[in-house]
Amino acid sequence: MQNTALDNNLLNNALNNWMSTTPGIDNLSLHRLTLPGTHNAGCDWKASYALIPGAHWVACQHTSFYDQLNNGARALDIRLVFNSKGEGLGKLQIQHNGFLSSRTLGNLVTDVERFLKDNPDEFIVLDFHELKGGDQPFDFAWFNKMILHFLRDRLIPAKNRYSSLGQLKEISPSQRVVVHADWHHDLDFEWFSDQIEHAWIGTQTPSASDLQKYIAEVMASPPSPYRPWSLSATSFALLGGPVDIHSALDNWFDPAKSDWLLKCNIVNVDFIEESRLVSFCRTANMIKARNR
Within-domain flag for 200: yes
DSSP structure string for 220-278: HSPPPTTS-EEEE--EEETTTEEE--HHHHHHHH-TTT-STGGG-SEEEESSGGGSSHH
Residue 177's CATH number? 3.20.20.190
The angle subtended at Cα 150 by Cα 174 and Cα 281, nearest 5°, is 50
For 67-102, write each residue's pLDDT tens digit. 999 999 999 999 999 999 899 999 999 999 889 999
Mean pLDDT of 120-148: 97
Task: Give residue 97's region: left, alpha or beta (phi > 0; psi -120 to 50).
Answer: left
- Report yes or no: 193 and 180 within 8 Å, Cβ to Cβ: yes
| pLDDT at residue number 292 | 84
Within-domain flag for 25: yes
Within-domain flag for 2: no
CA distances from 292 to 13, 33, 269, 288 (A): 24, 11, 27, 6
Higher pLDDT, 232 or 2: 232
Higher pLDDT, 38 or 51: 38
Within-domain flag for 30: yes
Neighbours of 242 (CB within 10 A): 21
- Report yes or no: 103 and 67 within 8 Å, Cβ to Cβ: no
Q: Which residues contact 211 (CB under 8 A, 6 or more apart)?
A: 201, 233, 234, 235, 245, 248
How many structural domains compose the chain? 1
**Which domain does 217 fall in, by range?**
8-291
Mean pLDDT of 125-130: 98
Identify the band that residue 53 occupies on the pLDDT scale cut at 50, 70 and 90: confident
Within-domain flag for 234: yes
CA atoms within 13 A on the CB side of 269: 28
Within-domain flag for 3: no
CA distances from 89 to 78, 94, 95, 137, 149 (A): 15, 11, 14, 16, 12
Instruction: Decide: pTM greater than 0.85.
Output: yes
Kindly tell me if the per-residue pLDDT of 178 is higher than 50: yes
Within-domain flag for 1: no
